[in-house]
Amino acid sequence: MDILIQNIITGVATGMVYALIALGFALIWKSSRVANLALGQLVLISSWFTYSMLVQFKFPFWLGMILTIAFAILLGWLIERLALRPLIGQPILSLIAITLGLAYFLEGFTAFIWPQGQGNLPKVFPQTSIQIGPAMIQQELLWAAVISLILFILLSVFFKYHRMGIAMRATADDQLAVQACAVPVNRVFSMSWIFACVVAAIGGVLISSIAAINYGLVETGFKSFSVVILGGMESFLGCIVAGPIIGLCETFGGSQFGSSIKEVIPFIIIVIVIMIKPFGLFGEERIERI
Amino acid sequence: MLKLNNIEVSYLNVVKVLHGISITVENGVVVALLGANGAGKTTTLKAISGLLRIEEGEINDGTIEWDGIRIDKKNAVDIGKLGIVQALEGRRVFEHLNAEENLLVGAFSRSNLKDVKADLNMVYSYFPRLESLKHNIAGYLSGGEQQMLVIGRAMMAAPRLMMLDEPSLGLAPMVVDQIYDIIKRFNMDRKTAILLVEQNVRVALNTAHYGYVMENGRVVLDGSADYLKGREDVKEFYMGISASGEKKSYKDVKHYKRRKRWL
């Protein structure tokens, strides 16, 4: 019984971190219908950047975080400016291919700047475990879950009520009509990439302060794909619901079938979801009036 | 006042579409742009609103002036901020947004939230139907409702010139009359100039004060709405009324073509 509750709590909390990274994917999809395949690499590079700031340059934590966010903003802006903007108006497949190229570029670039391949961030959260009922849970996982939840609420409110958020959703529907309403689409796209990079950076810092920085982060990015596919590509709610589901499947699968199966489970879920519910749990269905 | 002076437009630098168009839209006036398919009406609107460049079109020659400022080199966003708004052809609502969100996107460039709120109520007073549908997803509205939404969205920009591209497209005659009534009222209440592109010549000339007839990228005829309604050529070619003033029946259709007098 204790093990069961333990597994549930760990699974949900890990899933919330996946959900956080998945939010970064949903953001870009929501405003431009581009699938960002460089998700894990964005997490990787911003984690390494934080590592440089905190470990190599020994900046205090708050300064390191501010610099990391600034780096993420710059990164998002640069990516949109240099890689995506020249392709505006081209078929969506070219845009997705560019994000794939970006993924490999970022991975190579990271290996070039930080060749050590493995690093540890100083622990940000208290290391003690806390007792929830009969189960013990690492406090840092809980903190990560709480931060994911806060970001989810902030982003949802922004996209539902803010002028820019509404315009960003409109841009996904009709890029020409939105320009007829004097919405600067360039700014919409660069904002969505900046947001996504910031979210990825926050996710990166959370994960790598819990575990370690290595290429496994790229894989975490891939796991977040299964979150967005299960939750529905553009739905923040989908991310926050599907994240824990994936997390739970992983922990339970791991405890039932051993840890080698654990890694595969998110991808099995992708296949099953695409077969039976292609729009995901909360995804927007394509509107077809008959 | 909007003034197009002899503009020439080509797409991809190859296909020449407009061969020197000159049009004037005075403040507070409804002007109709008439003509067959492919005459260049929509291109003219896009040249004014700056949407042309997004579709790889370019103004090669001529000038467009808005209150004495040249706008033919400006981009769509800047032109929108100067008070010119275009409602695109074909009811292009933002499908996944609800009706009210659609209207709010129309007011994107305005920062005074109080005015936006007031204009939202103004749009609902012109289109009471939209108020009851404001939480519905726009993609599931009927054609007439979507067209109302698109016009309402253009109104939300508080424009000084509203350009409407075929608001009657694909709508039932009754809905067309309703929409044109509202366009007329909006023009009278707010003194907003309106530039209409329309295939439905009868409706357009009943609403407009002035009209231009376009053919193959040229303006071939212009004049006050009453003058155009009286022209034999317009009657024959665009309204389907023969010289005797009666509606033509297919039974006694002439087998030779009347030559257009303006060519």
- Hey, of A181, A186, A187, which one would you mutate to test binding to chain B, going by the most B CBs within 10 A of its CB? A181
**B162 and B184 in contact (C-beta within 8 Å)?**
no
Give the Cα separation of A184 and A100 in Å (integer).
26
Residue B222 lies in a domain: yes
Distance of alpha carbon A231 from the chain centroid: 13
pLDDT at B243 over 70: no
Give the Cα separation of B239 and B180 in Å (integer).
18
Report CB contact under 8 Å: A181, B140: no
Helix (H) or strand (E) holding B117: helix B113-126
Pick from B225, B240, B248, B234: nearest CA to B31: B225
Share of chain A above pLDDT 90, in %: 47
Any CB–CB contact under 8 A between B178 and chain A? Answer: no
Whole-number pLDDT of residue A252: 87
Q: Could you state, in order of their start, the residue ranges of all structural domains in chain A?
A: 2-216
pLDDT at B16 over 80: yes
Chain pair A-B, CB pairs under 8 angstroms: 80
Whole-number pLDDT of residue B242: 60
The tens digit of pLDDT for each residue in A194-229 reads 999 999 999 999 888 888 888 888 888 888 888 999
Chain A nearest CA to B98, separation (Å): 10
Domain that holds residue B204: 2-93+147-230
Band the pLDDT of A142: cuts 50, 70, 90: confident
Any CB–CB contact under 8 A between B46 and chain A? Answer: no
Give the Cα separation of A256 and A214 in Å (integer).
27
Band the pLDDT of B241: cuts 50, 70, 90: low
Band the pLDDT of B258: cuts 50, 70, 90: low
pLDDT at B97 over 90: yes
The arithmetic mean of pLDDT across residues B149-157, rounded, is 95
Q: Identify all chain A residues contacting B109, using CB atoms and an 8 Å cutoff.
A: 181-183
Please count the CA atoms within 13 angstroms of the CA of B196 that sit on its side-chain side: 31
Chain A nearest CA to B90, separation (Å): 11
Structure token digits, residue B149: 């939404």
pLDDT at B239 over 80: no
- Give the CATH number for residue B83: 3.40.50.300
The arithmetic mean of pLDDT across residues B197-207, rounded, is 91
Q: Identify all chain A residues contacting B54, using CB atoms and an 8 Å cutoff.
A: 89, 176, 179
pLDDT at B192 over 90: yes
Report CB contact under 8 Å: A181, B106: yes
Chain A nearest CA to B77, separation (Å): 4
Band the pLDDT of B257: cuts 50, 70, 90: low
Band the pLDDT of B116: cuts 50, 70, 90: very high
Number of CB atoms found within 10 A of residue B238's CB: 21
Share of chain B above pLDDT 90, in %: 71
The arithmetic mean of pLDDT across residues A26-49, rounded, is 91
Q: Which of A166, A178, A180 sits opposite B49 (nearest CB)?
A: A180
Give the Cα separation of A233 and B125 in Å (integer).
37
Residue B253 lies in a domain: no
Report CB contact under 8 Å: B105, A166: yes
Band the pLDDT of B233: cuts 50, 70, 90: confident
Q: Identify all chain B residues contacting A172, using CB atoms and an 8 Å cutoff.
A: 96
Band the pLDDT of B245: cuts 50, 70, 90: low
The arithmetic mean of pLDDT across residues B67-72, rounded, is 92
Band the pLDDT of A262: cuts 50, 70, 90: confident
The arithmetic mean of pLDDT across residues A252-259, rounded, is 83
Q: Looking at the 3D structure of chain B, how many domains does it have?
A: 1
Report CB contact under 8 Å: A182, B51: no
Q: Identify all chain A residues contacting B85, using CB atoms and an 8 Å cutoff.
A: 180-182
Residue B243 lies in a domain: no
Band the pLDDT of B248: cuts 50, 70, 90: low
Residue B246 lies in a domain: no
Number of CB atoms found within 10 A of residue A17's CB: 24
Residue, of B234 and A28, whose pLDDT is higher:
A28
Whole-number pLDDT of residue A32: 85
Give the Cα separation of B47 and B70 in Å (integer).
12
Report CB contact under 8 Å: B104, A89: no
